[in-house]
Structure formats: structure tokens, C-alpha cells
């Protein structure tokens, strides 16, 4: 089973709202990732967690706050977003080695 699940599939939020995206995997992977993808652009890495510790933050604004409560779960907390943050947010997981990443279907976020 190489499934990564993400909820919700779609999210519409106002600029003053607080919301969270959830990602889950049960493949025993110890690395998890958040990517952001704007329309007609390739995915861009936001955060990497390795063994439940944040190992890479690609200079993401603080209005995005990741959390890895355990090895199967990854959350992305959203607060005070801007309309330009509207995008497809993708979660992925992998073994630390070998590296192959498996992606979820994404959450389509719209900020009004």
C-alpha cells in the first residue's frame, strides 16, 4: 500500500480564518513533506519532517505552521492567509532511505 491521504479535498477560507490541513500515511515512512503548487507551475517544497523533527523550512511565511504529532500524521495550520496563498497543497512521505516520495491527492485551497 503506497497511499497518502489528505483532508479536506477542498477548502475555502477567509483571510481572518484559522484552518488546518491533514495528511496521513501508514507505510512506516519517517520523512514527510509539504509542497505548494500554483496553477500551471511545478510543486515547490515548503517543509520537510524527518523522524518527527522539522529538518527543512524553505523560508515559508509564519502564517503557515507545520506540525508532526507522530510518525503517521502531518498537519499544516493556516492563519491569516492571503489570496495569493490559494493553491494545491500536496503532502508526501518517504523512507529516509531509499528516498522515493509518495504523494497524496492534495488539498485545493482558496483564500477569499
Rule CB under 8 A: which residues touch other proteins? 4, 31, 33, 42-45, 48, 50, 55-56, 88, 90, 92, 94, 96-106, 108
Residue 42 cell numbers, joined: 511545478
CB of 44 to other proteins, least distance (A): 7
Q: Which is nearer to other proteins, 44 or 67 (CB)?
A: 44
CB of 91 to other proteins, least distance (A): 8
Contact (Cβ atoms closer than 8 angstroms) between residue 78 and residue 63: yes
Amino acid at each position: 500500500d503506497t497511499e497518502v491521504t489528505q483532508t479536506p479535498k477542498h477548502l475555502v477560507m477567509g483571510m481572518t480564518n484559522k484552518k488546518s490541513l491533514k495528511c496521513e500515511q501508514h507505510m512506516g515512512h519517517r520523512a514527510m513533506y509539504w509542497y505548494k503548487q500554483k496553477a500551471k507551475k511545478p510543486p515547490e517544497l515548503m517543509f520537510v519532517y524527518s523522524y518527527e523533527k522539522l529538518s527543512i523550512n524553505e523560508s515559508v511565511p509564519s502564517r503557515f505552521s507545520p506540525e508532526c504529532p507522530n510518525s503517521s500524521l502531518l498537519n499544516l495550520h493556516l492563519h491569516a492567509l492571503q489570496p495569493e496563498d490559494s493553491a494545491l497543497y500536496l503532502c508526501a512521505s518517504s523512507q529516509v532511505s531509499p528516498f522515493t516520495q509518495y504523494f497524496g491527492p492534495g488539498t485545493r485551497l482558496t483564500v477569499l
